[in-house]
Amino acid sequence: MNNYTTETGTDINKAAELLINGELVAIPTETVYGLAGNALSGIVVKKIFEAKQRPFNNPLIVHISGIEKLSSIVKNVPDIALTLLQTFSPGPLTIILPKKDVIPDFVTANSSHVAVRIPNHGLCLDLLKRLPFPLAAPSANKFTGISPTDPSHVFSQLSGEIPYILDGGPCNNGIESTIVGFEDDTILVYRLGAITMEKILQIHPHVKLANDHKVIHSPGMMKHHYAPKTPLILTENIESTIRLYDNKKIAVLYFKTPALKLSTAYEKVLSANGNLTEAAANLYKALYELDKEKPDIIIAEKLPNIGLGQSINDRLTRAAAK
């Protein structure tokens, strides 16, 4: 446990100076806040794992400022990877490519491949351009906890662990990047995220979920992840599930405003009119707020399993896993 007095602010020069001096800084991206440090320093990367209490066998994503930086950290970029980057970057796309030795094995959990992305957040990109190294940056929360989409979420989990939170406001996407790898002419989706399978299929005809077919170890594949402290149940029928727990203090997470209002202690709606993009942006904030009420159980409504709904259901399924 460190004893930092954690500050929150918008001073990009301070953030850069801390990072150059080997410290960790929470940074904004368009998806979630990241816990960032020098990706080329094994000592700094180890600090990230320790602050998050993250096991060393769970690799990190490396953040760069542009496609032109790829050649400094990866051995080669397949044509289809370049096409995806040109289409979706800067943005919530992470690609897994063969790493150069400059990337410490700590970053990749001893894999020969590294996960890389170019975030679509002005403050984050400005910071990356000021630094002489890329940033390793998993989500800025304790391991398996709810991903932070606001500086206050970071502070609640990492206060005292890091010196600075660079405040870039609430995250727009609110759900992590989509992680892809490549096998022959097929794009393997290792983690569903803010870029949907449907969008990737518009670029390339051969796309499939990796599931347990993980030749390359990818971030974001833990069975239990993205979870509140309160036990969570994912259901297709809120009303019948609530009846099973009528002796409990219940919090409910709805996809959209229900036709029938139920008498639960506390509830949140991801999108009043059922907009999947809005639901994704609100997911982690809603889970944080429900968790703060300290209910006995959170009952979450399963979303339509299409587009971003598939990605949100993936997060809720992992949050519910034991």
Instruction: State the pLDDT at residue 215.
Output: 47
Closest-CA residue to 316 (of 155, 192, 211, 153): 192
Instruction: State the pLDDT at residue 320.
Output: 95
Domain with CATH 3.90.870.10 in the chain: 7-209
Q: 7-209: CATH homologous superfamily? A: DHBP synthase (3.90.870.10)
Q: Are residues 189 and 199 in contact, defined by beta-carbon separation less than 8 angstroms? A: no
Long-range contacts of the stretch 263-267 (C-beta < 8 A, 24+)? 265/293, 265/295, 266/290, 266/293, 266/295
Of the two residues 8 and 214, the one the predictor is more confident about is: 8
Q: What is the pLDDT of residues 164-178, one digit of tens each?
A: 999 999 999 999 999
Q: Which DSSP string do the residues of 110-127 spell out, in sequence order?
A: T-SEEEEE----HHHHHH
Token digits of residue 69: 């930086």
Instruction: State the pLDDT at residue 61.
Output: 98
- CATH topology assigned to domain 232-320: Rossmann fold (3.40.50)
Separation of alpha carbons 97 and 105, rounded Å: 14
What count of other Cβ atoms lies within 10 Å of the Cβ of residue 225?
23
Least confident of 6-10, 12-16, 218-222: 218-222
Q: What is the pLDDT of residues 47-64, one digit of tens each?
A: 999 999 999 999 999 999
Least confident of 85-94, 188-197, 261-270: 261-270
DSSP bridge partners of 299:
233, 252
What percent of the residues of the chain are helix, what percent strand, and what percent coil, each to the nearest 5? 30, 20, 50
Tell me what the mean pLDDT of segment 217-233 comes to: 82
Would you say residue 212 has pLDDT above 70? no
Domain with CATH 3.40.50.11030 in the chain: 232-320
- Distance from chain centroid for Cα 117: 12
pLDDT band for 221, please (50, 70, 90 cuts). low
Rg for the chain (alpha carbons), in Å? Answer: 19
Q: What is the pLDDT of residues 69-96, one digit of tens each?
A: 999 999 999 999 999 999 999 999 999 9
What is the rounded average pLDDT for all residues in the chain? 93
Instruction: State the pLDDT at residue 210.
Output: 86
With a CB cutoff of 8 Å and minimum separation 6, the contacts of 129 are: 65
Q: Are residues 167 and 10 in contact, defined by beta-carbon separation less than 8 angstroms? A: yes
Token digits of residue 196: 């949907």
DSSP bridge partners of 181:
188
The proportion of the chain whose per-residue pLDDT surpasses 70, expressed as a percent, equals 95
Instruction: State the pLDDT at residue 130.
Output: 98
The pTM score is 0.94
